[in-house]
Amino acid sequence: MSTVIVSQDELSRYNSLIPMLKKHISEAGIDRGRPLTYLVKTYGCQLNESDSEKIEGIFQEIGLVEAKEEETPDFLIFNTCTIRENADIRLFGNLGAYKSRKKENRDMFIAVCGCMMKQQENIDRIKKSFPYVDACFGPSDIHMLPKILANKLNQRKRIFSVSEEDYLVDDNDIPVLHKRKFRALVPIMYGCNNFCTYCVVPYTRGRERSRSSEQILSQLRDLAASGYKEVMLLGQNVNSYGKDKEGEISFAKLLEEAAKIPGFSRIRFMTSHPKDISEEVIYTMKKYPNIERHLHLPMQSGSSSILKRMNRHYDQEQYLKTAMLFRKELPDATVTTDIIVGFPGETEEDFQATLDVIEKVKFDSAFTFQYSRRPGTKAADYPDQIPQDVVTERFGRLLELQNALTFASNESVVGKTEEILIEGKSATAPDVLTGRTNSNRLVNFRIPAGIELNGKKIDSSAPDFDADEFEGMLANVRITRAKPYSVEGELESFIDESR
Ligand code: SF4
């Protein structure tokens, strides 16, 4: 795998196919008496979500409209993840469900992309068992979609174009559809060089390649000017941003430059790596209030010997030093993490070390996983795999401890008034809104009677009340109740009057 910078010319060649595709799509729509539709099904991480936003951007550029989930679209893309076994199983299950639908709509275009396509066995399986899939392409081939669609239009045969190269494209030149009108996902780098022994990402996403800070900052300025309140800076390991590029600025410097751009209420970033996070990042977060008061710092294990076997390049002491420095410098902020239980060779003592670190850092919440043996990773061949019943028992103890800490963390803000960036209607009830604090805490809240906005009284019990109308607004919410994974509250006032 080698990094290949895609030139402007090459990208323009792909984008130059868009007008032809647009003409074809509109003519086909006229023939069918309806606009042609698309659906992108996304699995996995926010980088996959960001890739899907580009696929949707290209689809909308050629004149397709998004279909409803239950409808049979004309263009369907599965953007896959292969981080854990169940992701693969889900993909093939869902793909199977479209066999009959393709029979109903012979012109339907079905494609599969994303990390699973970088594993030959998955391509072979699709070639053999899913003859109705028209195309497969890789996670760094998204910019080639116009060419793949054009090739499919000109020839009936199936297209399997999963590049070996790790492409780096100027994302500013690819159409993108940000799914939320207040939040933009902004990849700052792709790939990973860490080769943690349980992880497939370095084999599917390739080597680390940073976008230029000039491109990123120009994209951020455009987003701020277009009214986006929140940006999520994305990378498998944001802390090694710029290290692969001579003369490029550090992640801390990029974060600072982003924070200086007027208009952003929230600068968020994901994912940090304990081996690379610098103290400078922590002090930069402290200095700029519009950088989120939250650090997601995947620990994976609290045992230094297991961390060594995971090839994580830090030990318990180093992890604690970083986490406790963050706790000291930003006492009101939240710290979350990822933890794997049942890694090969994990003894009861190793597991205890994980529980000890959790007790010390008191994570505000954690993504917890049972070890998943992934073909092609080093740890998959380790002899000392842990029996499932032992993993399940330990996982139970881990959840018990972490859930108590998460609830205690939520309880600690009851009675306080928090600034919330509203995300829209909650999943619980039409008159309940949802949003997040600046420390990434999930808040579900109601608007009490008597609250006014632009001089108009808001009545959340009215039949035409639409919580999504408040998406992207800032509000002060008094927290009234703690729940296991969120808090409840009542709106006190809107912070930002313009909608
Ligand atoms: S840092 Fe490790 S766990 Fe994260 S993507 Fe890279 S190899 Fe995977």
Number of Cβ within 10 Å of residue 454's Cβ equals 9
Q: Is 427 exposed, middle or buried (0-12, 13-18, 19+ CB in 10 A)?
A: exposed
Rounded CA-CA distance 485/137 in Å is 37
Output the pLDDT for position 152: 86
Calculate the alpha carbon distances from 433 to 61, 79, 418 in Å: 32, 29, 14
d(CA 275, CA 299): 10
Question: What CATH number has the domain bearing residue 231?
Answer: 3.30.750.210
Distance from Cα 201 to the centre of ligand 1, integer Å: 6
Asked whether the beta carbons of 446 and 432 are under 8 A apart, the reply is: yes
Question: pLDDT tens digits for 332-341?
Answer: 999 999 999 9
pTM: 0.94
Quickly tell me which residue has 């979350």 as its tokens.
336
Amino acid at 23: K
Residue type, 421: L
Nearest alpha-carbon partner for 365 in 421, 307, 301, 440? 440
What is the domain extent for residue 269? 180-292
406/379 Cα distance (integer angstroms)? 30
Q: In 301-453, where do the E strands start and end?
A: 334-341, 365-370, 417-425, 433-437, 442-446, 452-453
273 in contact with ligand 1, CB cutoff 6 A: yes
Is 159 part of a structural domain of the chain?
A: yes
Same domain, residue pair 120 and 227: no
Residue 287 CB neighbours (<10 A): 11
352 inside domain:
yes
At 286 the pLDDT is: 98
Residues 384, 277 share a domain: no
Residues β-bridged to residue 42:
79
Tell me which residue of 374, 321, 10 sits closest to 165, measured CA to CA.
Answer: 10
Using CB atoms within 10 Å of the CB of residue 461, give its burial: 0 to 12 exposed, 13 to 18 middle, 19+ buried. exposed
The DSSP result for 248-306, as a single string, is PPPHHHHHHHHHHSTT-SEEEEE---TTT--HHHHHHHHH-TTB-SEEE---B-S-HHH
8-state DSSP, 387: P
- Does the beta carbon of 201 lie inside 6 Å of ligand 1? yes
Instruction: Tally the domains of the chain.
Output: 4
From the CA of 192, give the closest atom in ligand 1.
6
Are 337 and 370 in the same domain?
Answer: yes
Give me the pLDDT at residue 261, please. Answer: 98
Q: Decide: 240 in ligand 1 pocket, CB within 6 A.
A: no
Q: Is 479 in the pocket of ligand 1 (CB under 6 A)?
A: no
In this structure, is residue 266 part of a structural domain? yes
How remote is the C-alpha of 363 from its chain's centroid? 21
pLDDT < 70 positions in the chain: 1, 156, 497-499
Same domain flag for 126 and 238: no
Would residue 175 count as lying in a domain? no
Last residue of a domain, one of 129, 145, 168: 168
- Answer whether residue 499 is part of any domain: no
Mode of pairing for the β-strands spanning 65-66 and 37-42: parallel
Looking at the chain, the whole-number percentage of residues with pLDDT higher than 90 is 84
Tell me, what DSSP letter sits at residue 67? P
Same domain, residue pair 274 and 311: no
| Claim to verify: residue 38 and residue 76 sit in the same structural domain | yes
Which ligand 1 atom is nearest residue 300's CA? 3
- Predicted confidence at residue 498, as pLDDT, reads 60
Same domain, 205 and 154: no
Question: What CATH number corresponds to the domain at position 102?
Answer: 3.40.50.12160
Specify the pLDDT at position 136.
96
**What is the domain-level CATH number for residue 382?**
3.30.750.200
Choose which residue among 192, 272, 307, 372 to substitute to test ligand 1 binding: the one with the highest number of ligand atoms within 8 A of its C-beta.
Answer: 192
The angle, 0 to 180 degrees and rounded to 10, between the axes of the packed helices 388-411 and 348-361 is: 10
User: Does any ligand 1 atom lie closer than 6 A to the CB of residue 239?
Assistant: no
The C-alpha atoms of residue 423 and residue 368 are separated, in whole angstroms, by 25
Domain endpoint, select from 395, 412, 429: 412
In terms of Cα–Cα distance, which of 82, 106, 94, 88 is closest to 40? 94
> Does any ligand 1 atom lie closer than 6 A to the CB of residue 196?
yes
Between the CA of 271 and the centroid of ligand 1 the distance, in Å, is 9
Helices (H) and strands (E) in the chain, counts: 15, 23
Structure token digits, residue 247: 């003369």
Residues 9 and 146 in one domain: yes
Q: Is 392 part of a structural domain of the chain? A: yes
At 355, the amino acid letter reads L
Neighbours of 363 (CB within 10 A): 23
Identify whether residues 309 and 431 lie together within a single domain: no
Q: Whose CA is nearest to atom 4 of ligand 1?
A: 236
Phi–psi pair at 205, nearest 5 degrees:
-105, -5
pLDDT of residue 105: 85
87 C-alpha to ligand 1 centroid (Å): 17
Query: Token pair 């032992």 is at which residue?
Result: 390
**Is the minimum distance from the CB of 192 to ligand 1 under 6 angstroms?**
yes
Shared domain check, 11 and 158: yes
Instruction: State the pLDDT at residue 1.
Output: 62
Contact 249/242 with Cβ under 8 angstroms? yes
Residues 39 and 80 reside in one and the same domain: yes
Measured distance CA(256)–CA(216) in Å, rounded = 13
Peptide bond into 271 cis (omega under 30): yes
Could you tell me if residue 174 is inside a domain? no
Residue 73 CA to ligand 1 centre (angstroms): 35
Cα of 188 to ligand 1 centre, how many Å?
Answer: 16
The pLDDT value given to residue 59: 98
Do 164 and 226 have their domain in common? Answer: no
Per-residue tokens: 90: 């889900």
- Identify the domain boundary among 292, 315, 339: 292
Is the residue at 240 inside a domain?
yes
Q: Which residue is closest in CA terms to ligand 1's atom 1? A: 194
Residues 454, 497: Cα–Cα separation, whole Å = 7
Determine the Cα–Cα distance for residues 125 and 430; give it in Å rounded to an integer: 43
Measured distance CA(433)–CA(423) in Å, rounded? 8
Task: Tell me which amino acid residue 479 is.
Answer: I
Q: What DSSP state is assigned to residue 143?
A: G
CA distance 227 to 498: 11
Decide: 482 in ligand 1 pocket, CB within 6 A. Answer: no
Q: Measured from the CB, is residue 236 less than 6 Å from ligand 1?
A: yes
